[in-house]
Structure 1
Amino acid sequence: MNMLCNTPANAVCMRRNIKLSPFGSVITLAISMTVAGLTHAEQVFNPAFLKDNLSHAEVSDLTRFEKSTYQLPGVYRVDIYVNDQYVMTRDVNFIEKQDIQDKTGLMPCLDQKTLQGFSINMGQYPALTEQNQQCPDFISIIEGANSQFQFDKQKLYISLPQASLRNQIRGYIAPDQWDAGINAMFMNYHLSGYNNSKTDSDSLFLRLDNGINLGSWQLRHSSSWNYSSRNGRSTDDWNNLNTYLQKTIIPLKSQLVIGDGSTNSEVFESFGFRGVHLSTADAMYPDSQQGYAPTVRGVAKTNAKVVIKQNGYVIQQTNVAPGPFIIQDLNPTSISGDLLVTIEENDGSVQSFTVPYSSLPILQREGRTKYSVVAGEYRSGLNSQDSPTVVQATAIHGLKKGFSVYAGTQLSEKYKSALLGMGANLGDFGALSFDFTHADSELADKSTHQGQSLRFLYSKSLLSSGTTFQLLGYRYSTKGFYTLGDVAYNRMSGYHTSETQDGNQANTPIITDYFDLYDAKKGRFEVNISHSLGKYGSVFVSGNQQTYWGTTKRNEWIQAGYANSWKALNYSFSVSHNKFSQIDQSETMYAFNLSFPLDRLWPKSNFQDSPIKNAYGTLSSTQNSNGNDSYLAGLSGTLLKDRNLSYSINQGRVTTQGDIGSVTLNYDGRYGSVGAGYSYEKNSNQLTYNASGGVLAHANGLTFGQPLGATSILIKAPGAKDVDIENYTGVRTDWRGYAIVPYATEYRANRVALNANSFSNNLEINNNVENVVPIKGAIVRANFDTSIGVRALVTLSHQGQFVPYASSVIEQNSSARGMVADDGRSYLTGLPSKGNLEVRWGDAENEKCLAVYDISEQDLSKPVVQFDLECK
């Protein structure tokens, strides 16, 4: 055997001519395969076996690896799943326990509070509640419980028998897992503009949405600036749109808003306000507890499986113990459609029955109460309305047998009203709600009125015929009934007219916000019906009609259509009619649309990397009763590797404008979005442009990105630059390793994953997936433990021989660590260009050595850098 090269300790030696043992390599490979394949073997190999055959090298202490796939005990950050449902991400201490089924030989050490959070019925197991237990052995205590630690994915799966659980709710995430996020400030900007050659006009619009988060308090402010120039004259104005402070009230499952906001429309008509609003936050409840679904009751003869289907789809499956059972956490796939309940007994017998089901927005689950209280000024963007002080309170409560009751009141200086109502799921007869409102009003002309209004809403699905009455509604009001919005008007009648985009008044003014308080509203009918024709498509009808006291004129809107597809072609026909009788304005429009993906016209294999792969062709036509017909052909799709460049090309003809055409492009990037467009028509052309983005200021600096949504995520992966974020178009980390995920779902687990294919050669991340559960309005931080350095394959020698097999290797100044394989080779990631490697193969002082290295002059851009070291 040749001697090692004689170089200083911090130098990198060329590969030594140490004789490799082919037999040792074969043994190592065989052991690795055996360790991977035998999960429950009592003893996979004897360390002495290696020593006997690798006579030229020592073997490190391998007793902890005598069991297959066993891992070292310690603290690991893991995603915890209970009965296949994600619960939380946290650091868990794993202890060694040889008699458990987990192939790693590790048992999670979970305290009593954590186990209780898993909905375990702690009173059923006194051994779990004994004092001074830091790590109760719940796997041994609860019969049928087990845990599986997927070490490579850092996921802990815990299985608990249903008999050990309290009445749990599917999709429930405990409030102590909700994240209020970081303290931060942000600003979103939306800029758009255009230039029109025909009118020699320019316009520029800028909207700013700003926010500050301090703990669970969130301040929001929106404003806009509008500039326009026409024939050498220009105007500009600045508007403050809204300002409000909001906070999540977790004990009440409510949301508090102080400032500008708007009410919901479940009981009264929605309106804007400036004041204080406290209301139930539906999003705080799991999906299986939102809205309405019937309670399913039954009796099982044995330990049975209960399967519930709606419209042919399984919406829930659960195991129940013998005796009566109640299921209250259904999450139906639609607002109507009977539920088929099947009880599969342990003895093979089967029971089945049907629970008729239809729903309306007003219905609530049994025992659930929903409320809203508002106090402040009525706020409208119309100059024809004042801002009276108003107080509104509403409440909805779910009763047994599918009934719900609701009530509300609106109080103002010139308006007082009270409402009482009831709704019910009537089974085979659908869902029905009705309410009665009494109101005292004083109008703009100082006249006073009293009146009542009766409202009916109905919903039903006729599965046998394929017809769905999504919503049928009728409201009848007496002559003296007015709404809060009516009383807010500062004059008895009026309307506004819309303008074209270039600021010109339309040839035929389009009336908006029309009102006439001299003719009070009398009756309003609404309909939404759809019918499935199976493979022959579907038809729908939607419409409403409003009648008034004192006149035979009525306002009407109706739309009907048919839609179907043939292979890859999607097509639809529709007709709509709009009539404002009070101002003698009406319009009927016929429309046809056809769309098809271009890559379906030829074999897919020809276009895997072609722009045609995500391209769609469209054809459309409209005929208007006013003689303004149009015919248009278009092409749209996405380009680039990440498909974040979208385009649209259209060409056609309009009766009143002649030939028209347009081209638009929009790019979504890591620092925001930009777009531009060009369009032309007879004697004119127009150039448009837009840009949007967000800026986030936080404890670690400034991060630029796409506009932040109501709830968003800040990714922190220091040093991980130019890394793509999975499932978010155009989102990528900046040069520091930070990125903004612009939107997230509040009170739900949001999976954030870094695309490993975009990692650079010198980047290592222990776990590239994080789960966060933000509250509404939060900016939560997803932290990724990154290691920036060299990927290296180091061959280590000591006293003329390879260092012992399975020795541990640690770089003293970083987190880089590894283990020695055969022939002294160790693979290390995140290795600094200079450092000290400490190698240990036992606990004694003479069973370790130190190697000083410097590879700064090598080509560190290689995927893996290889070098040899002498350890002293």
Structure 2
Amino acid sequence: MTTHFKIHQINITYVKSKYFTYPVSVVLSLFITTNLHAEQVFNPAFLSDGLSGSQISDLSKFENTTHQLPGIYRVEVSVNNEFMFTQDVNFIEKPDINDPTGLFPCFNLKTLEQFGININQYEELTIAGNSTCIDFLSIIEDSTSNFQFDKQKLSVTFPQISLKNQVRGYIPPEQWDNGISSLFTNYNLSGYNNSNDKSQSIFLGLDSGFNLGSWQFRNSSSFSYNSNKNSSSKSWTNLNTYAQKTLVPISSQLTIGDSSSNNDIFDSFSFRGVQLSSLDNIYPDSLQGYAPTVRGIAKTNAKVVIKQNGNIVQQVTVPPGPFTINDLNQTNTSGDLDITIEENDGTKQRYIIPYSTLPIFQREGRTKYNVIAGRFRSGHKFQENPTIVQSTLAHGLGGGFSIYSGTQLSDRYQSFLLGLGSNLGQYGAVSFDITHANSTLADNSTHDGQSVRFLYAKSLINTGTTFRLLGYRYSTRGFYTLNDTAYNKMSDSGSTNPSITDYYNLNNTKKGRFEANISHSFGKKYGSIYLSGNQQTFWGTKNKNTWFQAGYANSWNDFNFSLAASYVRSSEVDQSDTQFTANVSFPLDKLFSKAYRDKNQRSRSYVTASTNQGPHGNTSYNTSINGTLLEDRNLSYSLSQGYINDRDSNGSVSVGYQGGYGNVGASYSYDKDNNQFSYNASGSALVHANGITFGQVISDTAILVKVPGAKNIKIENYTGVKTDWRGYAIVPYASAYRQNRIALDTNSFGDNVEINNNVENVVPIQGAISRATFTANVGVRALVTLSKNGEFIPYASSVIETESSSQGFVADEGRVYLTGLPHKGTLNVTWGSDSNSSCSIPYDISEADLSQSIIQFELECE
């Protein structure tokens, strides 16, 4: 604080005594100005202790301890506490800015629009036009900027009134990355050798593709080889080939080639042709799936808190008057929404919106569609490939209703479906649809019929019971599906016992199907139970397909145990199969002392014991130990020993390794009749502009990490993934149209590696191979002593290496610590503003002992 004083008069009278002298009176008149200003100041003279003026560089720029130098910094930018991107931002000095660094971030009009600013609301922004550094703090009232220099994070806030009405989690298409042009191949190799019967089997699956701009081309194929004592066979199969492209303006995806339809409305089938469908994941999470619209009225500026199952799922502030919240994330399929409106005066309004949903439901105002034209594609030799056209449409109406419809057309089949779904509040969610179909079968007989389907879901939170799905479908005798009409043969005509070899008996069509999935929780202490099952009946036979399963699970003090029972009966085989299983597992670490567990935190081992009682009195027992090893827990192992009452003992040992170049595994198993060795390997090879990189299996969307020259750098949260000898790595899976945080593990940096920013964020489109690039200073760490004319370079002089941009400041006795130095280069040294206060020094340390962690050498300034 700077305070100005003016001394008017000081009168001091002293009185002496035998022991001391003391003032009798002090008259002090002070005038203190009302202009007060606080400022922290660092006096650089403290650094000159023992040094002459010629030994110290110009330190005036360091007088203010909080201000930073202007320039370009790579920072994480967040707007209103939501992360936006990581990129280089130009910072300039702004004297009146309310930021400790004294720096102002420069953004153009396009970036401000990306932040969600309603540009048309501010005439000054429109006038700014092509400016690369718009003073948004002066234009947008109540906006702020805070640069955390030590964390390289920039936080910008804008008042709600200045923003467009954007939904939560919205990422503008300008940030979407089409990815790099690349070619890749995934391989999956597996096989076994049986020493008893001399049999052998090898399987190789290949998934290949290349990306060109926003177009993606894919192919899947496989090779198999089987042999035994008497014969051998091999085959190569082309599974599918297709091209796909995201159509951003209509939020859809175009697929040309081999693909499969979804099963939202009709049964799924494979085809070769063209498909245009709406793309769900292109929307933010708050607009996907179904969630009810929350409406209410606020008396004041109020806080609206929305809870589901006791958890806050959204919290927003609304102005006085009616409000609508239509961007709730789809959370659980069931669970009532608890709405609380907290007013400024402390009063509260509270009400409940019952909530249940089914997969077909759409959010209010949202439309989902799918159009297919092509040829039916089947691997069955008894089926043909008719030309087909399919279209489906689902739309969300107000009041929790959804309507959906679809049609399937081919030469021998025409069907039309119409359905309606509704959230019935406290009574759950229900959907109902009816399908009419005209069919011509393989014997040229014509049929028409209807199929009615009913689905229900409900969660009873108070009781802990959840009806995940209850469904029933009834089809008349003349109703057939598209798949039925593709068969070119009808076997066992007139028989009541269908033939298993022909996959399906067209003389016994489906009649009724009931399915149920019910679970009940007794709380953490008492565990949970579940019931699942379905039953299919047929016209023309009393036989049924029945499947039922029930189970109980609980845990106690890290001990997990479960009981389950299952029942299966097929209409094609007149017998049933009933099984009972029991399972218990616990961490092996529990058998050791806490000191041992703390010392070996990287290893995790579990013991599992199970028993199974099958049909005809078959009973088996099995005990296994499995776990992970190594620092990254990417080495897994399993040892098991079992006994079957009619086949004696059996056992196995297996090991698997998840590495940067792929995954490998092997196992050995034995029983009374067989001794078998199995093996597997999987991975990928990615060809890109910078060469070829090997990694784990690439999923639909992936990321290439580029850290040139930095080898063995681990990628956080991706087991086994690390950069190769050139500094490249494949992150095998990523979320399309979402922020993917790629972070380098700083603990894996070598002694010769310095990386200024170890975090990148990318937003790939679906199917893209995006690239996350990091700048690494890879080179020597050195302690250099600098001098000129026999004297040390002045204290605090700036030193920059021209090629690598490695920089530092001179300490006492001319010493400077630099990292990432190339073996040869030039150092630029500056200690003042005039031309005589700088020099350049070439150096060559290629012959030095580079095995040392820090190289020390001296240089003379020219």
TM-score strictly above 0.5: yes
- 1:350 pairs with one of 348, 351, 358: 348
**Equivalent-residue separation in structure 1 for 2:804 and 2:572 (angstroms):** 79
**Equivalent-residue separation in structure 1 for 2:479 and 2:531 (angstroms):** 30
Structure 1 match to 2:542 = 552
1:532 and 2:521 equivalent? Answer: yes
**Equivalent-residue separation in structure 2 for 1:123 and 1:670 (angstroms):** 50
Deviation of the 1:612 alpha carbon: 8.7
**Equivalent-residue separation in structure 2 for 1:313 and 1:85 (angstroms):** 21
Query: 223-232 or 792-801, which moves further after superposition?
Result: 792-801
1:858 and 2:856 equivalent? Answer: no
Deviation of the 1:227 alpha carbon: 0.6
State whether residues 603 and 633 of structure 2, in contact with CA within 8 Å, keep that contact through their aligned partners in structure 1: no
1:761 and 2:751 equivalent? Answer: yes
Aligned runs of 1:667-706 on 2, under 5 Å? 667-706=657-696
State whether residues 603 and 629 of structure 2, in contact with CA within 8 Å, keep that contact through their aligned partners in structure 1: no
513 and 757 in structure 1: CA distance in 2 versus 1, 3 angstrom threshold: farther
**Equivalent-residue separation in structure 2 for 1:175 and 1:595 (angstroms):** 48
Q: Secondary structure at the residue paired with 1:751?
A: strand
- 1:160 pairs with one of 158, 161, 164: 158
CA shift digits 1:818-868 (9 cap, x unpaired): 223444332211112333211112221111123333333433333333333
Q: Secondary structure at the residue paired with 1:127?
A: helix
Structure 1 match to 2:71 = 74
- Aligned residue type for 2:606: Y
Deviation of the 1:511 alpha carbon: 6.1
Structure 2 match to 1:315 = 313
CA shift digits 1:600-653 (9 cap, x unpaired): 333333134549931111111111123332111001011122211111111011
**Equivalent-residue separation in structure 2 for 1:823 and 1:435 (angstroms):** 86
Q: Secondary structure at the residue paired with 2:848?
A: coil
Q: Secondary structure at the residue paired with 1:129?
A: helix
**Equivalent-residue separation in structure 2 for 1:257 and 1:595 (angstroms):** 46
Structure 2 match to 1:460 = 458
- Aligned residue type for 2:508: D
State whether residues 627 and 638 of structure 2, in contact with CA within 8 Å, keep that contact through their aligned partners in structure 1: yes
CA shift digits 1:401-446 (9 cap, x unpaired): 1111111000011000011111111111111111111100011121
State whether residues 358 and 461 of structure 1, in contact with CA within 8 Å, keep that contact through their aligned partners in structure 2: yes
**Equivalent-residue separation in structure 1 for 2:705 and 2:118 (angstroms):** 37
Gaps in structure 2 of 5+ consecutive residues: 1-36
512 and 691 in structure 1: CA distance in 2 versus 1, 3 angstrom threshold: farther
Aligned runs of 1:37-116 on 2, under 5 Å? 42-47=39-44, 50=47, 54-55=51-52, 57-116=54-113
- 1:805 pairs with one of 778, 795, 813: 795
Structure 1 match to 2:127 = 130
Deviation of the 1:161 alpha carbon: 2.7
Kindly, what percent of the aligned residue pairs are identical? 62
**Equivalent-residue separation in structure 2 for 1:70 and 1:318 (angstroms):** 36
Structure 2 match to 1:12 = none
**Equivalent-residue separation in structure 2 for 1:221 and 1:420 (angstroms):** 36
**Equivalent-residue separation in structure 2 for 1:822 and 1:323 (angstroms):** 67
Structure 2 match to 1:836 = 826
Larger RCO (CA within 8 A; separation ≥ 6): 1
- 1:593 pairs with one of 583, 604, 614: 583
**Equivalent-residue separation in structure 1 for 2:796 and 2:610 (angstroms):** 70
Query: 241-250 or 790-799, which moves further after superposition?
Result: 790-799
State whether residues 128 and 134 of structure 2, in contact with CA within 8 Å, keep that contact through their aligned partners in structure 1: no
Deviation of the 1:144 alpha carbon: 2.9
State whether residues 632 and 651 of structure 1, in contact with CA within 8 Å, keep that contact through their aligned partners in structure 2: yes
Structure 2 match to 1:517 = 506
- Aligned residue type for 1:529: I
Structure 2 match to 1:710 = 700
State whether residues 778 and 821 of structure 2, in contact with CA within 8 Å, keep that contact through their aligned partners in structure 1: yes
State whether residues 786 and 792 of structure 2, in contact with CA within 8 Å, keep that contact through their aligned partners in structure 1: yes
State whether residues 491 and 499 of structure 2, in contact with CA within 8 Å, keep that contact through their aligned partners in structure 1: no
808 and 494 in structure 1: CA distance in 2 versus 1, 3 angstrom threshold: farther
Deviation of the 1:591 alpha carbon: 1.0
Q: Secondary structure at the residue paired with 2:276?
A: strand
Aligned runs of 1:408-807 on 2, under 5 Å? 408-493=406-491, 514-534=503-523, 535-610=525-600, 613-807=603-797
1:304 and 2:302 equivalent? Answer: yes
State whether residues 354 and 426 of structure 2, in contact with CA within 8 Å, keep that contact through their aligned partners in structure 1: yes
State whether residues 339 and 356 of structure 1, in contact with CA within 8 Å, keep that contact through their aligned partners in structure 2: yes
CA shift digits 1:289-325 (9 cap, x unpaired): 1100011112222222221111011111122222222
Q: Secondary structure at the residue paired with 1:605?
A: helix
Query: 856-865 or 302-311, which moves further after superposition?
Result: 856-865
Q: Secondary structure at the residue paired with 1:318?
A: strand
Gaps in structure 1 of 5+ consecutive residues: 1-39, 496-508
State whether residues 702 and 769 of structure 2, in contact with CA within 8 Å, keep that contact through their aligned partners in structure 1: yes
**Equivalent-residue separation in structure 2 for 1:404 and 1:434 (angstroms):** 11
Deviation of the 1:695 alpha carbon: 0.8
**Equivalent-residue separation in structure 2 for 1:680 and 1:611 (angstroms):** 33
- 1:336 pairs with one of 331, 334, 356: 334
Give the structure-1-normalised TM-score: 0.91
**Equivalent-residue separation in structure 1 for 2:53 and 2:111 (angstroms):** 51
Q: Secondary structure at the residue paired with 1:148?
A: strand
Deviation of the 1:89 alpha carbon: 2.6
- 1:824 pairs with one of 814, 839, 848: 814
State whether residues 41 and 68 of structure 1, in contact with CA within 8 Å, keep that contact through their aligned partners in structure 2: no
**Equivalent-residue separation in structure 2 for 1:372 and 1:494 (angstroms):** 37
* Number of equivalent positions: 820
CA shift digits 1:255-313 (9 cap, x unpaired): 11111111111111111111111111111111111100011112222222221111011
* Cα-Cα RMSD: 2.1
Q: Secondary structure at the residue paired with 2:569?
A: strand
Give the structure-2-normalised TM-score: 0.92
Deviation of the 1:170 alpha carbon: 1.3
**Equivalent-residue separation in structure 2 for 1:865 and 1:722 (angstroms):** 23
Structure 2 match to 1:151 = 149
**Equivalent-residue separation in structure 2 for 1:401 and 1:622 (angstroms):** 50
Deviation of the 1:71 alpha carbon: 2.1
Structure 2 match to 1:15 = none
Query: 436-445 or 295-304, which moves further after superposition?
Result: 295-304
